[in-house]
Chains A and B, each alone.
Chain A
Amino acid sequence: MSGEEKEIPKLQKCIAVLWPSFLTAGAATGLFFSAFDPYDLFPFGEDTGLSRLGIYTIGFFLFWALTAVSGIGTLYFAITNCLRYNTSRRQD
């Protein structure tokens, strides 16, 4: 097994994970914060000391982290399944 995984450079993998998740995180942030005012997210009035812009920003990066994790999962399964498929085909 030569390992096709090795033929995909790290940078390509990073872009494949980070770029689509960036787009979906942007959409998710827009949807989420149009439904919820950042100041209403803390019903017991905790003073976070953050402006709305700050909470939007943190929200965006949390969404991005979340969507990126799902992207890593997709990439991992796509590569490992592809490897298994090719290995079994070569053995035939």
Chain B
Amino acid sequence: MDVNKTNQAARPDSTADEQIEQSLYARQEKIYPREVHGLFARLRALGVLSLLGIFYGVPWLRWGGHQAILFDLPARKFHIFGLTLWPQDFIYLAFLLIIAGLTLFFVTALAGRIWCGYACPQTVWTEAFLWIERKVEGDRMKQRKLDAQPWNARKIRVKATKHALWILFSLWTGFTFVGYFTPIIELGQRLIVVNLGPWETFWIIFYGFATYGNAGWMREQVCKYMCPYARFQSAMFDRDTLIISYDQARGEPRGSRKRSADHHGLGLGDCIDCTMCVQVCPTGIDIRDGLQYECIACSACIDACDDVMDKMGYDRGLVRYTTETAMHGGKRHIIRPRIIVYALFLLTIMSIFAWSIAHRVVLELNVIRDRNSLYRETSDGLIENVYTLKVLNKDDAEHSYSLGVSGIPGLALKSDLKEIRVEPGGVLEVPVRLHADESELQSRSSQVVFTLVANDDQTLSVTENARFIGP
């Protein structure tokens, strides 16, 4: 596997390596990927359209009177349909990130870089930008001609149109992005009357600029130079991972021939060396050189080659989805230890996540003992301990709660606060005093249990342990 090319390029003491280094760090030649039609192109278009649809559509969905998915940063709460998460629930987001990461590992081990070719935002937005470019500038040949010709009125007009469309699309992307973090309908209303806040404006432009730069200008260079996944994916690969590969045994020796010629008689393989697979490649590589880390597995070369094979009357699949094992005539193994291990990890983490979300109590109680004094004797001869309780209401509705305490016979709870009422997302500090008879204390330090129950919902309750110190 040739995924370590860049690492080798860092060693400048051999001629071959120097050449690699120079080609890597040379000024990039612009790649004009040829438009491609076929099964995988349709699949990719489907993937791109549905993912873009989800991205641009989801912020407009409503759920129970608020935006369905809203990571409301200004208000410090996340709405995910019926679920409201507070900063204290950060652990769930960490869980989600771990699940996303493990899913990527699992999918990569099973099906290779399918993420890169069909679902990565870099691919998705590059496809959209390429589509706009084709609509404005025409196909690959026309784009090349336009770039080569000197500046004239038409060239300026065409280029200006393309960039204007790109920038509009980027700004809309930036607007949608900010709409995930601040209510999008109000954001839209304020946009119409040109009354956006400075920070919102900044982020719309910043994200828009990033989109324009990444999808319009950087494109495959992001995958080649900036993507960490491209560098470590080989660690998840094995001989049974789905890859896109050129069938060397069948294709070589390559060469042009007449359609009617008996190429086997001429000593030629099935590859007619038409370079269509190179022309359609968005990263500008030649798949016939073997597996390369630049390959984003978009399968454009499969479509292009199948098309040529059909025209020549040869079998399809000279470039195809296959595995290293299958390519060398071995049996395919889908279930392998690596797959089982990833799947088990994923299932475990997902089950824990689902269980903890389902059993999440939207109430939190913290008990902090007064650190200044261990205990105090009251005028009635009772032992007093002082605590500060912190009540956090993680529900969407306001609740009032009843506080109880147990653990020592005859334990009395005193508080100056009449009612424990907490607004949604609010934290209330409740100073309380506990009184106990010295004769009831078994030891210097006894355990007491605070119980907090919502008055309108008995299932909404939490308990918290604390120590009661006596003489």
| A residues adjacent to B (C-beta < 8 A) | 4, 7-9, 12, 15, 19, 30-31, 33-35, 37, 51-54, 56-57, 82, 86, 89
Contacts and interface: CB of A to CB of B under 8 A. Distances in A.
B21 interface: yes
A52 B73 CA distance: 8
Interface residues of B, number: 22
A57 B199 contact: yes
Nearest to A57: B199
Nearest to A78: B10
A57 B203 contact: yes
Contacts, number: 46
Contact of A54 (B10, B87, B182, B199): B199
Contact of B225 (A15, A37, A51, A53): A15
A7 B226 CA distance: 18
A15 B202 contact: no
A57 B13 contact: no
Q: Would you call the interface of chain B mostly helix, strand, loop, or mixed? A: helix
Given A57-B199, A89-B13, A9 B74 contact: no
Contacts of A51: 74, 197, 199
B151 interface: no
A7 B21 contact: yes
Contact of B73 (A53, A82, A89): A53
13 contacts: A4-B12, A7-B12, A7-B25, A8-B25, A12-B225, A19-B226, A34-B93, A37-B76, A51-B199, A52-B73, A52-B74, A53-B197, A53-B200
B87 A35 contact: yes
Contact of B12 (A31, A52, A86): A86
A27 B426 CA distance: 26
Interface string B225-256: 11000000000000000000000000000000
A33 B10 CA distance: 39
B233 to A, nearest CB: 17
